[in-house]
Amino acid sequence: MKDEFVKAYRMLISTTNLFRDASIDLEEEKKLLERKRFVLLESGEIDGKNAEIREAQMFSKLADEHLQIDVKEVTVATLAKDRELASLEVELQKGLLRIEELSSVSVDVMNVKKKSKKPFRSYRS
């Protein structure tokens, strides 16, 4: 039972690490895209008359970068789900370990009662 708990906890650590790395990677990609947008605006390559046209021009020139961000967002969401499931597994294993511990304690108390010749007295009496 303890081995399963350790295994679940290691999985949580692993998925947390992957999730955080992917989240950092996503944020870096977003910052890079923002820098590229400023460069395009500054260079005069984006010259639309209104915000919608400029945004369309920007998207057209940075389509690959937008696609990369979309892929990374899906990856982060998937890893967040995996991390949440790993966390639930740790909680389950914790609960099972606690039940096992309580079961062994109650068995020990029952064995003490059987071995004892004296009647069992409650602390309340």
Residue 123, pLDDT > 80, answer: no
Residue 79 falls inside a structural domain: yes
Residue 89 falls inside a structural domain: yes
Residue 118 falls inside a structural domain: no
DSSP-based helix, strand, coil % in the chain, nearest 5: 85, 0, 15
Q: Tens of pLDDT along 10-68?
A: 999 999 999 999 999 999 999 999 999 999 999 999 988 999 999 999 999 999 999 99
The pTM for the full model equals 0.73
Residue 123 falls inside a structural domain: no
pLDDT at 104: 82
Domain count along the chain: 1
**89 and 96 in contact (C-beta within 8 Å)?**
no
- Print the domain residue range for 109: 2-113
Residue 38 falls inside a structural domain: yes
Residue 125 falls inside a structural domain: no
Residue 8 falls inside a structural domain: yes
103 pLDDT band, cuts 50/70/90, is confident
Six token digits for residue 53: 């046209």
Residue 98, pLDDT > 80, answer: yes
Residue 124 falls inside a structural domain: no
